[in-house]
Amino acid sequence: MIGITSYGTYIPRLRLDRMAIFQSMGWFAPAIMMVAQGERSMCNWDEDSITMAVTAARDCLIGQDKSTVDAIYLASTTLPYADRQNAGIVATALNLRDDIVSTDFTASQRVGTTALVTAFDALKGGDRNNILVAAADCRETKAAYFYEMWFGDGAASIMVGDKDVIAEYKGSHSLSYDFADHYRGRLKKYDYVWEERWARDEGYSKIIPEAIQGLLNNTNTTIDQVDHLVYPCFFKAEHKKIAKKLGAKPEQVMDNLHEMCGETGCAHALVMLTAALEKAKPGEKIVVAGFGQGCNALLFEVTDHITKLAARSGFEGAVNNKKSIDNYPKFLTFKDNIQTEMGIRAEAPTQIAVTTLWRKRKMLLGLVGGKCRECDTPQFPKMDICVNPNCNAHHSQDDYEFSNVPAKINSYTGDLLAVSVDPPHKYGMIQFEGGGRFMADFTDCDLEELKVGLPVQLMFRRRLEDKERGFSSYFWKAMPVPGAAEMMNRVRFDNQVAIITGAGGGLGRVYALELAKRGAKVVVNDLGGSRDGSGGGSTRAADLVVEEIKSSGGEAVANYDNVATVEGGENIVKSAVDAFGRVDIVVNNAGILRDKSFTKMEPENWKAVLDVHLNGAYHVSRPAYTLMKDQGYGRIIMTTSAAGLYGNFGQTNYSAAKLALVGLMNTLTIEGKKYNINVNTVAPLAASRLTEDIMPPEIFAKMKPEYVSPIVLYLCSDKCQESGSIYNAGMGYYNRAAFYTGPGVAINKGKEPPTPEDIKANWDAINSMEDARPIPDANAAIIALISPPDPKAKKAKSQAAKPEQESASVTPQEIFELMPNQFKKDASAGVDVVFQYSISGGNGGDWNVTIKDQTCDIQVGKVDKATCTIKMSDTDFVDMVTGKLNPMQAFSSGKLQISGDVMKSQLIEKLFSMK
């Protein structure tokens, strides 16, 4: 049996919203609106038919033994070389054997299927057993043309052979007519297209049915036996009419993919065939036809082997890996359809020495490096001496292909000064799994997507184009693995161990379940007591939660210790270490209630509540903190309550304990900072036995603990750098609560103790919370008392500022006070800069902002050495920060002046979330 043994698809990631073409050019060509639905695929600036064919062929070769390939046929009407075999470049990039037949098929939209028919003819001849067919096209059109809407870029690859056939070849029928509905003369960039009506009536709707009918007759098949009818035709009505003419029902006909990617030239019949193969079941029949100066039609019957084919991107993967854009000028630029000024640097010589290319072809086109026979160390490029310092063997390297080896980003940069069609030019060091690294360009990504550690895959792309000599040179670039960034951004707890106290019910149970679902190994602690802490000793509550976690595939152990004792806390941590070897997360959640008004609050009730909430958190957190300190990582959550933060009648014991936890957090935050131990506090509101008699039933029903667990999980994760903060959370609403300190007043300038009457006289100023601010620690609070603000200076400033204040809702000073809250710690890794702000006007002044070691320090005044200095008027500054004035416009109009390292000033937008 001969037939298809594998397939692969490639659609460029970029998709242009067709509406964007209409929006830019509708004034000129209003009729293009009729086909402006969906998106068309478009090559990135570094892609062409060769690179697309390589990518589709790599997809096709997944799970195949490429040493068995003994011919490669490349079909395209947009080949970069008219005389240098394009298929040879593809074969070298794929590292196929040297002793194979390779050839190009070109000059008709039908050549994708012609290459396929020819491959089967060769198989039948018996000299070849496995032939790789690849078809790719990226046709150019003039702007604002119907064909610009209809066309798309893409590629497909089909392997044909006589072993492990997934779709048996049943026969073909070809017609050859010199029907010139369009043509592209030699050296012409664009097709010349004859009248559309003629192409439809005399071409598509006659020739395609004739070829398919001929095939059905040759193979004794009737149209109703065909399950998937595949034939490209971008005229929507004509596409339907052809099926009708053949007697096929609409459900038999494959969609022409207009909305998803557009028609991908001579590759389209094969792209649609891969889409059909992807959904076909064993026993189903597929007819594929390719039109163009005649027509080829082929019949296949799908075999059982299709279910065994290795996983691949295929059509689904290719079509779903997309970035939609509505930037029509970008499309024109990438297609080289408008001239952009590339600067003098772009004039550097681009001539490629073909001698070197020949000698290093395996390295440059095939990304072949070396692997040491002595120590197994891979390296790129291959050298005479092994790179491993413990080995350094000579002439010990075997060829080692890097193109399919998974890699990760080690470092990256976006270079605005380097020549790039898609600035900034993005490049960096990539590290291969198992060893080997090199500086790679990044493609198919935006700078914001790049991250250290992000998985990348290697893509064969055009590196330079020597337009003067018509020479494209290729190399491999790194592209983020589709979906990898989302995976990296996911809050996960794989290999982490979490202790949740009081996790036998209520909120703790949900925290435990959710943490386990995201990979954490969980210690479910609960002593199984009643609401007021009496009883206890029941193992059931914790056991049930452990069972629940295990039945969903998670890992957990139960612990029944009492958090209120020192030994209990130690045992809980020991349970974690015994079962899982470490502790990364502690959620201090166990709680009881013994509500009484103050006079009835006997010492035993006071003590019981403080023992569980406050002492319990101390007993568990302390031994866990010791482990976290040693491992340099930890997350601790305290559970406070609105009663503690704001007070509640009848809960003096509970309020005292709950606010004491905030004090514990404040200091533990300071102590844990250098060990990467973050401590935060949550004040939940959720339905549980503690709240069932407090909340009205209709509100109680909406208070699912699942609304609280997401913020607890985030605060517990390595994605969160927050420490020392308090959050209210419940019913889908989340906010931060904080201690703010008023500016106060210095009485008698601090020189003499004031009298109680002085205090009375200054009461409003002492009490005022205007300009209140958070104070980072006790030392800062003392400094605030020693050097209070000068009220006269403030008054003078506010009077001088009056006219501007009327127009501006906030002042620069307020903006700088708010800035620490807007600081994005995550974005500041590795940044070491000092921004000097010099703001003129009545509300102006000098401020300096130092970003170092992922902290942000803002001071009034000037520094000696700033990375850059930003000069603006107070009103413009406020407008810019509040989003009313575009920074680029401000800069180009002279409202914003930057001196020093201008490039570094661009970091401001990244480092602060203003507005």
Residues with active-site annotation = 654
Distance of alpha carbon 460 from alpha carbon 47, whole angstroms: 9
Identity of the residue, 537 or 894, whose beta carbon is nearer to ligand NAD in the bound complex: 537
Identity of the residue, 77 or 680, whose beta carbon is nearer to ligand NAD in the bound complex: 680
Backbone torsions φ then ψ of 482, nearest 5 degrees: -55, 130
Closest by Cα among 687, 613, 500, 693 to 605: 613
- The contact mask relative to ligand NAD for 488-507 (x = CB under 6 A, - = no) is -------------xx-xxxx
Question: Does residue 508 interact with ligand NAD by CB under 6 A?
Answer: yes
β-pairing, 39-41 vs 294-302, is unpaired
Quote the least distance from Cβ 412 to ligand NAD, whole Å.
43
Q: Which position among 685, 870, 885, 908 is part of the footprint of ligand NAD (CB under 6 A)?
A: 685
Quote the least distance from Cβ 708 to ligand NAD, whole Å.
8
Identity of the residue, 604 or 806, whose beta carbon is nearer to ligand NAD in the bound complex: 604
Query: Are 527 and 559 contacting, i.e. CB atoms less than 8 angstroms apart?
Result: no
Q: Which position among 684, 724, 812, 844 is part of the footprint of ligand NAD (CB under 6 A)?
A: 684
Cis bond leading into 424, ω under 30°?
yes
Quote the least distance from Cβ 575 to ligand NAD, whole Å.
12
Judged by DSSP in three states, 99 sits in coil
Query: Are 398 and 371 contacting, i.e. CB atoms less than 8 angstroms apart?
Result: yes
Amino acid at 512: A
Take residue 525 and report the two structure tokens written for it: 């602690």
Q: Which residues does 765 contact at the CB level (< 8 Å), separation at least 6? A: 744, 745, 791
Q: Which position among 148, 181, 301, 526 is part of the footprint of ligand NAD (CB under 6 A)?
A: 526
Identity of the residue, 513 or 801, whose beta carbon is nearer to ligand NAD in the bound complex: 513
Q: Which position among 281, 689, 795, 884 is part of the footprint of ligand NAD (CB under 6 A)?
A: 689
Distance of alpha carbon 292 from alpha carbon 294, whole angstroms: 5
Distance of alpha carbon 158 from alpha carbon 152, whole angstroms: 20
Q: Which position among 639, 651, 655, 836 is part of the footprint of ligand NAD (CB under 6 A)?
A: 639
How are strands ordered across the β-sheet holding 868-873? 855-860, 845-852, 833-840, 868-873, 897-900
Residues between 337 and 356 with contacts to ligand NAD, criterion CB under 6 A: none
Q: Half-sphere exposure of residue 749, counting CA atoms within 13 Å on the CB side? A: 2
DSSP conformation class of 612 = I
What residue has token string 């295929």? 314
Identity of the residue, 689 or 760, whose beta carbon is nearer to ligand NAD in the bound complex: 689
Identity of the residue, 450 or 585, whose beta carbon is nearer to ligand NAD in the bound complex: 585
Identity of the residue, 428 or 508, whose beta carbon is nearer to ligand NAD in the bound complex: 508
% helix / strand / coil in the chain, to the nearest 5?
40, 25, 40
Closest by Cα among 190, 196, 181, 132 to 159: 132
Task: Report the alpha-carbon angle 651-656-662, nearest 5.
Answer: 130
What is the DSSP code string of 426-465?
EEEEEEETTS-EEEEEB-SS-GGG--TT-EEEEEEEEEEE
- The contact mask relative to ligand NAD for 234-273 (x = CB under 6 A, - = no) is ----------------------------------------
Task: Report the alpha-carbon angle 29-11-187, nearest 5.
Answer: 60
Task: Please report, for residues 45, 333, 494, 711, 909, the alpha-carbon distance to residue 422 in angstroms, rounded to integers and kept in the order given.
Answer: 8, 9, 37, 38, 20
Quote the least distance from Cβ 722 to ligand NAD, whole Å.
20
Instruction: Name the residue number minimizing CB distance to ligand NAD.
Output: 506
Q: Which residues does 770 contact at the CB level (< 8 Å), separation at least 6? A: 742, 743
Closest by Cα among 856, 66, 90 to 848: 856
Quote the least distance from Cβ 673 to ligand NAD, whole Å.
25
Question: Does residue 525 interact with ligand NAD by CB under 6 A?
Answer: yes
Total residues interacting with ligand NAD, rule: CB under 6 A: 34
Q: Which residues does 100 contact at the CB level (< 8 Å), separation at least 6? A: 69, 70, 71, 72, 91
Q: Which position among 144, 612, 747, 881 is part of the footprint of ligand NAD (CB under 6 A)?
A: 612
Window contacting ligand NAD (CB under 6 A); options: 288-296, 630-638, 669-677, 688-696:
688-696
β-pairing, 497-500 vs 585-587, is parallel
- Provide the β-strand partners of residue 233: none
Quote the least distance from Cβ 491 to ligand NAD, whole Å.
21
Residues between 554 and 573 with contacts to ligand NAD, criterion CB under 6 A: 562-564
Extended strands (E) in 38-183: 39-41, 71-75, 101-105, 130-137, 154-161, 167-176, 182-183
Residues between 791 and 850 with contacts to ligand NAD, criterion CB under 6 A: none
Window contacting ligand NAD (CB under 6 A); options: 304-312, 322-330, 520-528, 715-723:
520-528
Amino acid at 819: M
Take residue 229 and report the two structure tokens written for it: 């009818």
Quote the least distance from Cβ 507 to ligand NAD, whole Å.
4
Identity of the residue, 375 or 642, whose beta carbon is nearer to ligand NAD in the bound complex: 642
Task: Please report, for residues 520, 710, 722, 905, the alpha-carbon distance to residue 679 in angstroms, rounded to integers and kept in the order given.
Answer: 18, 16, 8, 32
Identity of the residue, 118 or 688, whose beta carbon is nearer to ligand NAD in the bound complex: 688
Take residue 336 and report the two structure tokens written for it: 């080289």
Quote the least distance from Cβ 24 to ligand NAD, whole Å.
55
Q: Half-sphere exposure of residue 354, counting CA atoms within 13 Å on the CB side? A: 6
Distance of alpha carbon 678 from alpha carbon 719, whole angstroms: 11
Quote the least distance from Cβ 405 to ligand NAD, whole Å.
49
Q: Half-sphere exposure of residue 876, counting CA atoms within 13 Å on the CB side? A: 20
- The contact mask relative to ligand NAD for 571-610 (x = CB under 6 A, - = no) is ------------------xxxx------------------
Identity of the residue, 78 or 651, whose beta carbon is nearer to ligand NAD in the bound complex: 651
Identity of the residue, 436 or 684, whose beta carbon is nearer to ligand NAD in the bound complex: 684
Residues between 640 and 659 with contacts to ligand NAD, criterion CB under 6 A: 641
Q: Which residues does 711 contact at the CB level (< 8 Å), separation at least 6? A: 682, 727, 729, 734
Judged by DSSP in three states, 730 sits in strand
Identity of the residue, 294 or 529, whose beta carbon is nearer to ligand NAD in the bound complex: 529
Quote the least distance from Cβ 647 to ligand NAD, whole Å.
13
Window contacting ligand NAD (CB under 6 A); options: 678-686, 734-742, 805-813, 860-868:
678-686
Window contacting ligand NAD (CB under 6 A); options: 308-316, 336-344, 452-460, 522-530:
522-530
Quote the least distance from Cβ 625 to ligand NAD, whole Å.
19
What residue has token string 């690294």? 437
Quote the least distance from Cβ 428 to ligand NAD, whole Å.
45
Quote the least distance from Cβ 696 to ligand NAD, whole Å.
13
Q: Which position among 690, 729, 808, 872 is part of the footprint of ligand NAD (CB under 6 A)?
A: 690
Distance of alpha carbon 879 from alpha carbon 872, whole angstroms: 11
Identity of the residue, 579 or 818, whose beta carbon is nearer to ligand NAD in the bound complex: 579
Site residues (CB under 6 A) for ligand NAD? 501-502, 504-508, 525-529, 531, 533, 541, 562-564, 589-592, 612, 616, 639, 641, 683-686, 688-691
